[in-house]
Structure 1
Amino acid sequence: MRISSKSIRSAGVSLPVISFVLLTSTSHAQQSDGTLEQVIVTGVADRQLLLDARTDTGSRIGLTARETPAIVDILSERQIAELGARTNIEALNRAPGVTSSLPATSPGAPTMRGFSGAAVGLLYDGMRVASPLIYSRASDAFMFERIEILKGPASVLYGEGALAGAINLVPKQAMLGTDQIEAIASYGSYDTVRLAGDVNLPLGERAAIRGIAARGQSAGWVHDSDSRLLATSLSATLKPTDSLLLEFAADYSEDDYDTADLGTPLVPRAIARSPSSAATAPGDLVIDRALRRTNFNVTDAVLDSDTLWLRSRVRWQINDALAFSNEFGNYRSDRSFINAEIFNFNPSSGLLDRSTGIVTHDIEYSIERPTLSGDITIGGLRNRFAIGAEASRLSFATRRYFATTTSVDLFEPERGTFPGGTDSLEPINQKSEVDVTAVFFENAIDLTSRWRVAGGARHDWIDLDRLIVNSPKFEREYSALSYRLGTVYDLAPKTQLFAQYSKAVAPVGNILSLSSANSRFDLTKGESVELGIKSSLWDDRIDATLAGYRLVQDDIITRDPANPALSIQGGRQSSRGVELSLSASVTSQLRIDANYTKLDAKFDELIEAGGISRQGKTPPRIPETIANLFAFYSFDSLPVTLSAGLRHAGSFYTDNANTIRARGYTTIDAAVGYKVSFGEISVRGRNLNDEFYVDYSDVSPSQFQVGAPRTVEIALLASF
Structure 2
Amino acid sequence: MRHFSLSKALPLAAAAVFYPSFSFAAPQEDKNHQQNKAEHITVHSRSQPLKETPAIGGKLGLSIQHSPATIDVIDRSVMNQRGYAHAEEAADSAPGVSSGGSPGSPAQFVMRGFSGNQILMLRDGIYYGPTTMVNRPLNTFNLQSVQVLQGPSSVLYGQGAVGGTVDMRTRDPAFDHAHANALVSYGSFNTWNAGIGGSVPVTDTLAIRTDFSRTSSNGYVKGADPHSNDFTTTLIWKPTRKFSARFSIDYLTDRLSTYYGTPLVPLSETGGRAGGLLHSSQGLGITRSSMWHNYNVKNPQASSTNVTPTLHLQWQPTKHITFHNKSYFVYAKRRWNNAETYSYISSPGATDAAGNAIAPGRVGRDRFYVYMNQHQVGDTLDGTLDFSLFGLKNRLVVGGDAYYIRLIRDRGFPDATYADSVALDSSNTGPTAGFAGEYPSRKSPTTMIDAAVFMEDVITVTSKLRLVGGYRYDWLHLDRQNYNQNGSFNAASSFKKLYNPSNFRIGPVYDLTKNISIYGVFTTADDPPGSNIFLVNKGQFNRLSHTRQGEIGAKGSFWHGRFTSAIAFYDIRRTHILVANGQDSVTTAGGQKSRGLEWQGNLVLNPHWNISGNVAYTWSRYGSSFYPSAGVNASGNAVPNVPAVTANLWAVWSRVENLPLDLGAGMRYISSRKGDYANTLTLKDYALVNVFAAWHAYKGVTVYGRIDNVGNKHFIQWASTDYPSEVILGAPRSFSISVQAGF
Partner of 2:563: 542
Q: Is contact 2:11–2:652 with CA below 8 Å preserved after alignment? A: no
Distance 2:742 2:539 in 1: 54
Contact 2:106 2:133 in 1 (8 A): no
| Distance in 1 between residues matched to 2:85 and 2:475, nearest whole Å | 39
Q: Could you tell me whether the CA contact under 8 Å between 2:262 and 2:727 is conserved in 1?
A: yes
Residue 688 of structure 1 aligns with which residue?
710
Does 2:289 match 1:269? no
CA distance in structure 2 between the aligned counterparts of 1:557 and 1:191, rounded to whole angstroms: 41
2:106 match: secondary structure: coil
Contact 1:504–1:527 (CA<8 Å) still a contact in 2?
yes
Equivalent position SS for 1:299: coil
1:686 partner letter: D
The structural deviation recorded for 1:603 is 0.8
- Is residue 352 from structure 1 mapped to residue 372 from structure 2 by the alignment? no
Aligned ranges 1:162-173 → 2 under 5 Å: 162-173=161-172
**For residue 713 of structure 1, what is the aligned residue in structure 2?**
736
Change (3 A) 1:610 1:197: closer
Q: Tell whether 2:297 aligns with 1:298.
A: yes
Aligned counterparts of 2:540 and 2:9: Cα–Cα separation in 1: 50
1:627 to 636, 647, 666: 647
Give the deviation of 1:300 after TM superposition.
1.4
Q: Displacement, 1:263?
A: 1.0
CA distance in 2, matches of 1:324, 1:413: 57
360, 378, 389: which one pairs with 1:378? 389
Deviations 1:209-246 (A, max 9, x none): 00000011111121122221111101100001111011
TM-score by structure 1 length? 0.91
Could you tell me which of 616, 620, 624 is aligned with 1:605?
624
Contact 1:269 1:275 in 2 (8 A): no
Residue equivalent to 2:379:
368
After TM superposition, the structure 1 stretch with the greater mean CA deviation from structure 2, 219-228 or 183-192, is: 219-228
**Per-residue deviation, residues 245-292 of structure 1 (Å, max 9, x unmatched):** 11000011111247x211101112241434224133343111223322
How many residue pairs match? The answer is 686
Contact 1:45 1:590 (8 Å CA) reproduced: no
1:417 paired residue number? 431
Deviation at 1:39, TM superposition (A): 5.3
Aligned equivalent of 2:576, options 555, 558, 576: 555
1:616 aligned onto 2:627 = no
Q: Distance in 1 between matches of 2:597 and 2:191?
A: 37
Unaligned runs of 5+ in 1: 1-9, 11-18, 28-36, 559-566
The CA deviation string for residues 446-504 of structure 1, in whole angstroms up to 9 with x for no partner, is 10000000000000110000110031131010001100001100001000010000111
Q: Deviations over 1:405-431 (max 9, x none)?
A: 321111135711112656657632101
1:523 alignment partner AA: L
Q: State the secondary structure of the residue aligned to 2:173.
A: coil
How far did residue 697 of structure 1 move?
4.9
Between the aligned partners of 1:574 and 1:38, the Cα distance in structure 2 is 33
Match of 2:544 in 1: 523
**Change over 3 Å in CA distance of 1:413–1:160 after alignment to 2:** closer
CA contact (8 A) 2:47 2:73 kept: no
Q: How many Å apart are 1:636 and its aligned residue? A: 4.8
Distance 1:328 1:539 in 2: 43
Following superposition, the deviation at residue 606 of structure 1 comes to 2.7
- Does the CA contact (< 8 Å) of 2:20 and 2:44 recur in 1? no
**Could you say if the C-alpha distance between residues 362 and 542 of structure 1 is closer, same or farther in structure 2, counting changes exceeding 3 Å?**
same
What secondary structure sits across from 1:341 in the alignment? coil
Mapping of 1:118-133 within 5 angstroms?
118-133=117-132
Q: Identity of paired residues, percent? A: 27
Q: Could you tell me how far 1:79 is from its partner in structure 2?
A: 2.0
- Match in the other structure for 1:589: 608
Q: How has the CA–CA distance of structure 1 residues 73 and 382 changed in structure 2, closer, same or farther, with 3 Å as cutoff?
A: same
| Counterpart contact for 2:188–2:736, Cα < 8 Å | yes
Q: 1:117 and 1:580 mapped to 2: Cα distance?
A: 24
Counterparts of 1:386 and 1:58, CA distance in 2: 13
Matches within 5 A, 1:658-677: 658-677=679-698
Q: Distance in 2 between matches of 1:584 and 1:26?
A: 9
Q: Is the 8 A contact 2:22 2:43 kept in 1?
A: no
Secondary structure at 2:606's aligned position in 1? coil
Distance in 2 (CA, whole Å) between partners of 1:43 and 1:81 is 19
1:38 Cα deviation from its structure 2 partner: 10
Please point out which of 471, 479, 504 is paired with 1:483.
504
Any idea what SS the aligned residue of 2:277 has?
strand
- Give me the whole-angstrom Cα distance separating, in 2, the residues matched to 1:570 and 1:347: 31
Q: Please name the residue that 1:429 is paired with.
A: 443
Are 1:544 and 1:582, in contact at CA under 8 Å, matched by a contact in 2?
yes
Please say if residues 373 and 409 of structure 2, whose CA atoms lie closer than 8 Å, have aligned partners that are also in contact.
yes
CA distance in 2 between partners of 1:622 and 1:257 (Å):
24
> Corresponding residue for 2:410?
399
- What code does the residue aligned with 1:57 have? I
- Report the CA distance between 1:389 and its aligned residue: 0.2
Amino acid at match of 2:613: A
The question of whether the paired residues in 1 share the 8 Å contact of 2:676 and 2:724 is answered with: yes
- In structure 2, distance between residues paired with 1:499 and 1:433: 38
Contact 2:53 2:64 in 1 (8 A): yes
1:573 is the counterpart of 2:592: yes
The answer to whether residue 477 in structure 2 is matched with residue 467 in structure 1 is no
Partner of 1:387: 398
Question: 1:15 maps to what in 2?
Answer: none
Work out the CA distance in 1 between the residues paired with 2:468 and 2:173. Answer: 32
Q: Secondary structure at the match of 1:109?
A: strand
Q: Which residue of 1 aligns with 2:669?
A: 648
In the TM superposition, what whole-angstrom CA distance separates every residue of 1:641-662 from its partner, at most 9, and x where no partner exists? 1121111112222322111222
CA distance in 2, matches of 1:412, 1:467: 40
The alpha-carbon deviation at position 381 of structure 1 amounts to 2.2
Counterpart position of 2:29? none
1: CA distance, partners of 2:726 / 2:591: 27
C-alpha RMSD over aligned residues: 2.5
CA distance in 1, matches of 2:83, 2:663: 12
Instruction: Deviation per CA, 1:309-365: give whole Å up to 9, x if none.
Output: 111100001111110010011111111111111001101221010001111121222
Check conservation: 1:22, 1:682, Cα contact below 8 A.
no
SS of 1:535's equivalent in the other structure is strand
Higher alpha-carbon deviation: 568-577 or 243-252: 568-577
* Residues in 1 aligned to 2:587 and 2:131: alpha-carbon distance in whole angstroms: 25
Cα offset, 1:43, TM superposition: 5.9
Question: What SS class does the counterpart of residue 501 from structure 1 fall into?
Answer: strand
Of 499-508 and 66-75, the range deviating more from structure 2:
499-508
Quote the residue 2:727 is aligned against.
704
TM-score where L is the length of structure 2: 0.88
504, 519, 523: which one pairs with 2:525? 504
Which has the larger displacement, 352-361 or 416-425? 416-425
Q: Aligned in 2, Cα 1:338/1:719: closer, same or farther, shift over 3 Å?
A: same
> CA shift at 1:175, angstroms?
2.5
Question: Is the 1:405–1:418 contact (alpha carbons within 8 Å) kept by the matching residues of 2?
Answer: no
Q: Which structure 2 residues correspond to residues 269-288 of structure 1 after superposition, within 5 A?
A: 269-270=267-268, 271-288=270-287
Matches within 5 A, 1:94-133: 94-133=93-132
Letter in 2 for 1:631: A
**Distance (whole Å) between structure 1 residues aligned to residue 260 and residue 466 of structure 2:** 50
Q: Residue 45 of structure 1 contacts residue 591 of structure 1 at CA under 8 Å; is this kept in 2? A: no
Give 3-state SS (helix, strand or coil) of 2:79's partner.
helix
Offset, 1:95:
1.5
In 2, Cα distance between equivalents of 1:203 and 1:498: 45
Q: CA, structure 1 residues 176+40, in 2 after alignment: closer, same or farther (shift >3 Å)?
A: farther
The whole-number CA distance in structure 1 between the counterparts of 2:675 and 2:67 is 35
Cα distance in 2 for partners of 1:157, 1:20 equals 32
Instruction: Please give the alpha-carbon distance, in whole angstroms, between the structure 2 residues aligned to 1:426 and 1:48.
Output: 50
Distance in structure 2 (CA, Å) of the matches to 1:182 and 1:414: 39
Pair 235,413 (structure 1): closer, same or farther in 2 beyond 3 Å: closer
Give 1:22-33 correspondences, 5 Å limit.
22=10, 24=12
Instruction: Report which stretch shifted further, 37-46 or 303-312.
Output: 37-46
